[in-house]
Amino acid sequence: MPEDMNIAQCKEIVERITKEIIPLFDLAIKNDSVLYKNPNLKQCWNEKNCKKESCPVFKNESNLRCWQIAGTYCGGKIQGLFAEKYDNCKMCEVYKKACPTIVEELGENFNNLMYLVHKQKHITADHVKKIDHLNKELFSALENLDLKNREIQELVITDKLTGLYNRNYLFATLEDEISRSMRYDYQFSLLMMDLDDFKKINDEYGHLEGDKILSFLGEMLKTKLRKTDRSFRYGGEEFVIVLPETEMTIAFMVAERIRAAFEAKTFSMHHPATSKDTLLSPTLSIGVISYQKGLSIQDLLGKADEAMYKAKSLGKNKVVRHDELSTL
């Protein structure tokens, strides 16, 4: 107890702390906007007759204290942040007048604590908001990147003219199908088809006219097959179709449906030499094979090729099963 304070004064201080200060901590648990209302608070610009209108606290009637605000003027100099200048501010007459007793000093210490809590809360909220914004931008960028990657991947594995998969992707697909067949013991079949007399068509009408036929065949295959089936341009006028979970009889029926649908299509071909248009109905020769254990990719394609060329040797525009070659 200070020498100049008697027992009655000490008792009064304790009672004030009990009534004015301690309840604030209880209230702050539920409401972090609680403020100690200091009746002795002075405005520094008024007390010091300051004319610095650019000072953040000049004629500012908010509850913030001058020692809490960064960038205030004092002695003609701009002061720093709260943590940097608070020790000096405590020595200022404005602060001393605001805290004539320990009750007001405790009250202002409480206000400073709540100010820091609010400040940190706003900083954290801003950080969370920025992080959320960055996360959204990152997610959007990753989505766009994934989309671009898929587009690039699609371009890499797709034949530009027909829109079907290309030869390279065929080998990757067959590796997967053979592995799956070995593991789960299920059948898949393969069709190999070739446009009959296509070289003659190109020689007579030109490659641009021939490309129309290839393009149509690519579009037609997409409409005649299941979503699980995959069509490939094997090279030139040769095409391959992989039919997952399909045995030979069904594969033969699919091939016949494709052959008949293509034969029914009539193309108007423009002859560059005579400038005349001619109606043409090109045909397909198709070989069919079902995968058997032990066959390599090259074996499988080779046997399908044998069946296809047998169809050509039998007069073209036919479907031949590889398992019936010995009977033909």
Q: What is the pLDDT along the chain (328 residues), one digit of tens a residue?
A: 455 567 888 888 888 988 888 888 888 888 878 888 888 888 887 777 777 777 777 777 666 787 777 767 776 677 767 767 777 788 888 888 888 888 888 888 888 888 888 888 877 767 777 777 777 877 887 788 777 777 777 777 899 999 999 999 999 999 999 999 988 888 999 999 999 999 999 999 999 999 999 999 999 999 989 999 999 999 999 999 999 999 999 999 999 999 999 999 999 999 888 889 999 999 999 999 999 999 999 999 999 999 999 999 999 999 999 999 988 7
Output the pLDDT for position 1. Answer: 44
Q: What is the pLDDT of residue 79?
A: 72
Q: Is the pTM of this model over 0.95?
A: no
Contact of 304 with 194, CB cutoff 8 Å = no
pLDDT at residue 143, as a whole number: 81
**Does residue 145 lie in a domain region?**
no
Q: Is residue 84 a part of any domain in this protein?
A: yes
Residue 131: inside a domain:
no
| Residue 298 tokens, joined | 């090259």
Q: Which contiguous run of DSSP H or E holds residue 192?
A: strand 188-195
Report yes or no on 273 lying in a domain.
yes
Amino acid at 227: K
Half-sphere exposure of residue 173, counting CA atoms within 13 Å on the CB side? 23
**Same domain, yes or no: 173 and 266:** yes
Q: What residues are annotated to the active site?
A: 237
The verdict on residue 149 lying in a domain is no
**What is the domain count for the chain?**
2
Residue 136 located in a structural domain: no
> Is 2 part of any domain?
no
Compute CA distances 317 → 63, 225, 262, whole Å. 93, 20, 10
| Closest to 242 (Cα-Cα) out of 225, 258, 259, 257 | 225
Q: Tell me, what DSSP letter sits at residue 271?
A: P
CB contact burial 214-225 (16+ within 10 A = b; e otherwise) = beebbebbeeeb
244: containing domain? 158-327
Shared domain check, 255 and 162:
yes
| 63 Cα distance to chain centroid | 47
Beta strand 284-290 with 319-321 is parallel
Q: Is residue 76 part of a domain?
A: yes
| All residues at 6 or more sequence positions from 44 whose CB lies less than 8 Å from its CB, including other chains | 50, 57, 66, 72, 74, 92, 94
Domain boundary pick from 123, 150, 176: 123
Residues 229 and 275 in one domain: yes
List the CATH number of the domain containing 177.
3.30.70.270
* 110 and 230 within one domain: no
